[in-house]
Structure 1
Amino acid sequence: MSDLPIGQHALLSDRHSAAVVTSDGCVAWLCLPRFDSESVFASILDDGGGHWWIRPSGRATVGRGYLEGSMVLRSEYRTETGAFELVEALELRAPTDPHRLGVGAPHTLLRTVRCTSGTVDLETEFRPRPGYGTVVPRLVRVDGGLQAVGGTGTLTLSTAVPLVVGPEGTATGRFRLGAGDEQAMAVQYRAADESPAAPYDADRIAAAIETTVAAWRGWSELHQRYQGPWRDLVHHSGRVLQALSYQPTGAIIAAATTSLPEVVGGGRNWDYRYAWVRDASFTMRALWVAACPHEASDFFDFIAEAGATALPGRHLQIMYGVGGELDLTERTIPHWSGWRGSAPVRVGNGAWDQPQLDVYGDLLDAVSLLIDQLDPFTPTLRDFVARLADAAAAHWHDPDHGIWEIRGAPRHYLFSKLMCWVALDRASMMADRIGMPDRADGWRAQADRIRDAILAEGWNPAVRAFTQSFGSDDLDASALMLPLVGFLPPDDPRIRATVDAVTAGLVDDRGLVRRYLAGPDVDRLDGSEGSFLLCSFWLARVLAQDDRVPEARAVFERAVAHVNDVGLLAEEADPETGELLGNFPQAFSHVGLVNAAWEIARAEERAAAGEAGTSERSR
Structure 2
Amino acid sequence: MSTRPIGDHALLSDCRSAALVTSDGSVDWLCFPRFDSPAVFARLLDEDAGHWSIRPAGPAEATRRYLEDSLVLETTFRNQDGTVVLLDALALGGRERGHSLGASSPGVLLREVTCVEGSVPLEMTYAPRPEFGLVHPLMEPVRGGLVARGGAHVLTLSAPVDLTVSDSTARAAVTLRAGQRLCLALQASWGWAPEPPRRHPWRVHRRLKDTVAGWRSWSRLHTGYRGPWQEQVGQSGRVLRALTFSPTGAIVAAATTSLPESVGGERNWDYRYTWIRDTSFTLQALATATCELEEASFFSFLARAAATELDRGVDLQIMYGVGGERDLSERLLPHLDGWRGSAPVRVGNDAWRQRQIDVYGELLDAAWQLYGDAGRLDRLTRSFLVGVAETAARRWQEPDQSLWEVRGPSRHYVHSKLMCWVALDRAVALAPTLGATGRVAEWERTRERIRAEILARGWSERVGAFTQTFETDDLDASVLMMPLVGFLPGDDPRVRATVEAVAAHLTDARGLVHRYHSADGLPGGEGTFLLCTFWLAHALALAGRGGPARKAFETAASYANDVGLLAEEVDSVTGEPIGNFPQAFSHIGLINAARAIRDTGG
TM-score by length of 2: 0.98
- TM superposition shift of 1:372: 6.6
Residue 514 (1) aligns with residue 511 (2): no
Q: Which residue of 2 aligns with 1:415?
A: 415
For residues 6-44 of structure 1, the C-alpha deviation after alignment (integer angstroms, 9 at most, x for no partner) is 111010001100001111111101111000011100001
Aligned letter for 1:488?
Answer: L
Give structure 1 stretches of 5+ with no counterpart. 608-619
Residue 215 (1) aligns with residue 223 (2): no
Match of 1:551 among 539, 548, 552: 548
Q: What is the distance in 2 between the residues matched to 1:121 and 1:129?
A: 26
Q: Which residue of 2 aligns with 1:479?
A: 479
Q: Which residue of 1 aligns with 2:581?
A: 584
Q: Which residue of 1 aligns with 2:8?
A: 8
Q: Which residue of 1 aligns with 2:89?
A: 89
Q: What is the distance in 2 between the residues matched to 1:202 and 1:71?
A: 21
5 Å matches for 1:486-505?
Answer: 486-505=486-505
- TM superposition shift of 1:312: 3.1
- TM superposition shift of 1:97: 6.4
Q: Which residue of 2 aligns with 1:115?
A: 115
5 Å matches for 1:112-511?
Answer: 112-166=112-166, 168-309=167-308, 311-313=310-312, 314-371=314-371, 375-511=375-511
For residues 445-485 of structure 1, the C-alpha deviation after alignment (integer angstroms, 9 at most, x for no partner) is 22111111111111111111111011221100001001110
Contact 2:506 2:515 in 1 (8 A): yes
Aligned letter for 2:235?
Answer: H
For residues 283-331 of structure 1, the C-alpha deviation after alignment (integer angstroms, 9 at most, x for no partner) is 2221111232312232222222222236232111111111111111111
Residue 77 (1) aligns with residue 77 (2): yes
Contact 1:297 1:373 in 2 (8 A): no
- TM superposition shift of 1:528: 1.0
For residues 239-266 of structure 1, the C-alpha deviation after alignment (integer angstroms, 9 at most, x for no partner) is 0001111111111100000111111111
Contact 1:88 1:110 in 2 (8 A): yes
Aligned letter for 1:233?
Answer: Q
- TM superposition shift of 1:96: 6.0
- TM superposition shift of 1:105: 2.7
Could you say what secondary structure the match of 2:451 adopts? helix
- TM superposition shift of 1:235: 0.5
Aligned letter for 1:56?
Answer: P
Deviates more, 1:451-460 or 1:278-287: 278-287
Match of 1:598 among 587, 595, 598: 595
Could you say what secondary structure the match of 1:431 adopts? helix
Q: Could you say if the C-alpha distance between residues 373 and 261 of structure 1 is closer, same or farther in structure 2, counting changes exceeding 3 Å?
A: farther
Could you say what secondary structure the match of 2:301 adopts? helix
Q: What is the distance in 2 between the residues matched to 1:372 and 1:212?
A: 36
Q: What is the distance in 2 between the residues matched to 1:199 and 1:372?
A: 51
How many residue pairs were aligned? 601
- TM superposition shift of 1:217: 0.8
Contact 1:310 1:316 in 2 (8 A): no
Aligned letter for 2:522?
Answer: L
- TM superposition shift of 1:345: 0.7
Residue 572 (1) aligns with residue 572 (2): no
Could you say what secondary structure the match of 1:189 adopts? strand
Could you say what secondary structure the match of 2:585 adopts? helix
For residues 32-64 of structure 1, the C-alpha deviation after alignment (integer angstroms, 9 at most, x for no partner) is 100001110000100121111111111111111
Q: What is the distance in 2 between the residues matched to 1:361 and 1:154?
A: 45
Q: What is the distance in 2 between the residues matched to 1:478 and 1:601?
A: 22
Residue 51 (1) aligns with residue 51 (2): yes
For residues 374-428 of structure 1, the C-alpha deviation after alignment (integer angstroms, 9 at most, x for no partner) is 9321222222221111111111111000010000010001111100110110110
Q: What is the distance in 2 between the residues matched to 1:579 and 1:243?
A: 23
Q: What is the distance in 1 between the residues matched to 2:543 and 2:48?
A: 51
- TM superposition shift of 1:3: 0.8
Q: Which residue of 2 aligns with 1:610?
A: none
Q: What is the distance in 1 between the residues matched to 2:449 and 2:355?
A: 21
Q: What is the distance in 2 between the residues matched to 1:76 and 1:312?
A: 59
Q: What is the distance in 2 between the residues matched to 1:22 and 1:374?
A: 48
Q: Which residue of 1 aligns with 2:67?
A: 67
CA RMSD of aligned residues (A): 1.4
Q: Which residue of 2 aligns with 1:536?
A: 533
- TM superposition shift of 1:224: 2.5
Deviates more, 1:313-322 or 1:285-294: 285-294
Contact 2:399 2:411 in 1 (8 A): yes
Q: What is the distance in 2 between the residues matched to 1:293 and 1:567?
A: 23
Aligned letter for 1:192?
Answer: G
Contact 2:94 2:207 in 1 (8 A): no
Q: Which residue of 2 aligns with 1:611?
A: none
Q: What is the distance in 1 between the residues matched to 2:251 and 2:537?
A: 25
- TM superposition shift of 1:517: 1.1
Q: Which residue of 2 aligns with 1:612?
A: none
Q: What is the distance in 2 between the residues matched to 1:524 and 1:440?
A: 39
Q: What is the distance in 1 between the residues matched to 2:93 and 2:39?
A: 23
Q: Which residue of 2 aligns with 1:563?
A: 560
Q: What is the distance in 1 between the residues matched to 2:475 and 2:192?
A: 53
Contact 2:96 2:102 in 1 (8 A): no
Could you say what secondary structure the match of 2:132 adopts? helix
Could you say what secondary structure the match of 2:411 adopts? coil
Q: Which residue of 2 aligns with 1:613?
A: none
Could you say what secondary structure the match of 2:148 adopts? strand
TM-score by length of 1: 0.95
Aligned letter for 1:155?
Answer: L
Could you say what secondary structure the match of 1:517 adopts? coil
Q: What is the distance in 1 between the residues matched to 2:438 and 2:237?
A: 38
Q: Could you say if the C-alpha distance between residues 252 and 475 of structure 1 is closer, same or farther in structure 2, counting changes exceeding 3 Å?
A: same
Q: Could you say if the C-alpha distance between residues 97 and 433 of structure 1 is closer, same or farther in structure 2, counting changes exceeding 3 Å?
A: farther
Aligned letter for 2:426?
Answer: R
Deviates more, 1:379-388 or 1:62-71: 379-388
Identity within the alignment, %? 55
Could you say what secondary structure the match of 1:543 adopts? helix
- TM superposition shift of 1:79: 1.4
- TM superposition shift of 1:442: 2.1
- TM superposition shift of 1:373: 9.4
Could you say what secondary structure the match of 2:103 adopts? coil
Q: What is the distance in 2 between the residues matched to 1:143 and 1:497?
A: 70
Contact 2:374 2:433 in 1 (8 A): no
Q: Which residue of 2 aligns with 1:617?
A: none
